[in-house]
Chains A and B, each alone.
Chain A
């Protein structure tokens, strides 16, 4: 057997995995019967249904011809990595990580870090340009969210604001 559609094949596998995971998880809760459904009843039903749909998708992917094999193609690892990293850094700087005793650095620092890391995901990286973008964004966000909308964000690092 040859895979006729790579995209569908892996979609099917994904559905099967998620379906089974939920169905298996559901059995940890009381399932009950139709008249008295426990918390596990509906997720078990859906999970099984989803795994079945996944099987059908996988099966179709191995039988129905497609013109180009519907390849998944290359993953854009660079943007994926930097966008997610910029997001995580933003969270760490804005809120700190109390469990390891890392204090927060506040919104302004978080915005500047996010802009720089996110910009690395693009095709070109010009330091001066990114710096001005970061400053503009930081000032604009400070004015909108903290001055105008009065959202409860720490603006400056913990050691300055006290």
Chain B
């Protein structure tokens, strides 16, 4: 079968000792930084990206995939042990996971998250491999109008799923799009918004934005809080293995979560968060077995379901990125940036022009997942130790890694001045209660959107109706409109606010 041939190519690439080593190092580093309190996957990836510069593209991407999964896993660990969700998609894990930890059942909770994620990751990898080929063929039918509409859909998706005010999310996306336009315009060669500064004609580096806003902004904000607000509850972990009873409860939850996650992850606009929320809702509705702990009091299904769902979704969310070249969420936007640094333009052509890289990456995702479970469950004791390291030792080190990482991108101190500026901006966003993630997505999509808008309207001689007269483009826009209408409906609006209140 073609599918297995492809996967065989991939595993051939990924299973070389050196690439396995990179996957391992990536997972290790990703988890290491990801478990530090107050650092989500976004900051983790941004911080570790420079570590991959020196590698050849395939190895670099494999290491990045490892970092990505490690960071996500680290996020669930802090959610369970410290009651601190690293990112939106592990918000629901906190509810039951932390309760389990308080009852001394942190071990089974972590194991449930790990095993559920691994299973979901396996299924997600298969789905990804199966869908990649047909979707790539669809991608070649995409004209500029379709690409533009798809990006609109992705951005609307991001708005719908952003926590907090919808209007503010729109504002942040626009700001991101505008920031993406800084630098030399490819069509006219005009350096836009660069104030005659040579470094700015290349645009604002996305590492600078990522680290400034997500790294420095967070650190400053954390330091501004009083010690007690970021108190770490170092739960004692005794016994990692879930009981037989736990397994019996977990299994259906994992299956349901995986199914839901795989399906929702394909949608542009941060499927992982939506999947986790949906999975939790379904688990709550599903019939309780006799003697089960109620939800919100430490039910293992409340951990296994959402964790499987968000992992399956984060796997399948690579589909729009790899086939269409469009990042569906902020983390993927960061991956686009990483790929461009290694001279890979994500999109349908990668699969045909560079099959080893494409399938190698997909295989390495599976390896990353496997490594997490082999590596992290036994090492959980170390991660917990790490959580008890006083923040006053951690934050100077984090500041240092950000600074070195930024400098090493171009070996230019200009980036260090810029990251200082974005640190201040990032802190301002936090103080104003603005969620910064949509900005990063907008930033990456900005130039792509302009280019496709320009081409679409050039072909139609300035007629804007081209976006609704072409069938595919019209349906994408219709879905976007529908999403927007749904989220603005009064009843949904209320539910949405409730869902995010728990953050």
Q: Write the residues of chain A forming the contact surface with B, with a CB cutoff of 8 angstroms.
A: 7-8, 10-11, 14-15, 18-19, 22, 25-26, 29-30, 33-43, 46-47, 49-50, 53-54, 56-57, 60, 70, 72-76, 78-80, 83-84, 86-88, 90-92, 94-95, 111, 114-115, 118-119, 121-124, 129-130, 133-134, 137, 141, 145, 149-153
The docked-state distance in angstroms from the alpha carbon of A74 to that of B216 is 18
- Is there contact, CB below 8 Å, between B54 and A49? no
What sequence of 0s and 1s flags, for each residue 420-434 of chain B, a beta carbon within 8 Å of any chain A beta carbon?
100110011001111
B351-394 contacts to A (CB < 8 Å)? 391-393
- Is there contact, CB below 8 Å, between B187 and A39? yes
The docked-state distance in angstroms from the alpha carbon of A88 to that of B403 is 9
Look across to chain A and name the residue whose beta carbon is closest to the beta carbon of B222: A79
B399 proximity list for chain A (CB < 8 A): 83, 86-87, 114, 118
A134: min CB distance to chain B, Å = 8
Contact segment of B62-70, B95-103, B456-464: B456-464
- Is there contact, CB below 8 Å, between A50 and B423? no
State whether A118 and B395 are in contact (beta carbons under 8 Å apart), knowing that A42-B454, A50-B175 are contacts in the complex.
yes
Query: Which of A54, A95, A111 sits near B400, CB closer than 8 Å?
Result: A111
The docked-state distance in angstroms from the alpha carbon of A151 to that of B406 is 13
B397 proximity list for chain A (CB < 8 A): 133, 137
B444-491 contacts to A (CB < 8 Å)? 449-450, 453-454, 457-458, 460-464
The docked-state distance in angstroms from the alpha carbon of A76 to that of B220 is 7
The answer, yes or no, to whether B43 is at the interface (CB within 8 Å) is no
The docked-state distance in angstroms from the alpha carbon of A143 to that of B463 is 60
Q: Write the residues of chain B forming the contact surface with A, with a CB cutoff of 8 angstroms.
A: 51, 54, 165, 167-168, 170-171, 174-175, 177-178, 181, 185, 187-188, 190, 192-193, 216, 219-221, 223-224, 227, 391-393, 395-397, 399-400, 402-404, 407-408, 411-413, 416-417, 419-420, 423-424, 427-428, 431-434, 449-450, 453-454, 457-458, 460-464
- Is there contact, CB below 8 Å, between A80 and B178? no
- Is there contact, CB below 8 Å, between B190 and A152? no
**27 intermolecular pairs with C-beta atoms under 8 Å apart:** A8-B433, A15-B171, A15-B174, A25-B192, A30-B188, A35-B460, A35-B461, A39-B190, A43-B192, A46-B174, A54-B171, A57-B171, A70-B433, A72-B432, A76-B221, A78-B223, A79-B223, A84-B216, A88-B417, A122-B395, A133-B393, A133-B397, A137-B400, A150-B54, A152-B411, A153-B408, A153-B411
Most buried by A among B174, B190, B193: B174
B454 proximity list for chain A (CB < 8 A): 37, 41-42
- Is there contact, CB below 8 Å, between A22 and B178? yes
Look across to chain A and name the residue whose beta carbon is closest to the beta carbon of B413: A95
- 3 cross-chain pairs, A with B, having the tightest CB-CB distances, nearest first: A76-B224, A35-B462, A91-B416
A18 proximity list for chain B (CB < 8 A): 175, 178
B210: min CB distance to chain A, Å = 15
Look across to chain B and name the residue whose beta carbon is closest to the beta carbon of A45: B453
Query: Which of A11, A49, A90, A152 sits near B174, CB closer than 8 Å?
Result: A49
A41 proximity list for chain B (CB < 8 A): 454
B219 proximity list for chain A (CB < 8 A): 79, 83
Look across to chain B and name the residue whose beta carbon is closest to the beta carbon of A50: B174
- Is there contact, CB below 8 Å, between A34 and B464? yes
- Is there contact, CB below 8 Å, between A141 and B400? yes
A42 proximity list for chain B (CB < 8 A): 181, 449-450, 453-454
New A-B pairs, 4, CB < 8 Å, besides A10-B432, A76-B221, A95-B412: A29-B192, A114-B399, A121-B220, A133-B397
- Is there contact, CB below 8 Å, between B396 and A53? no
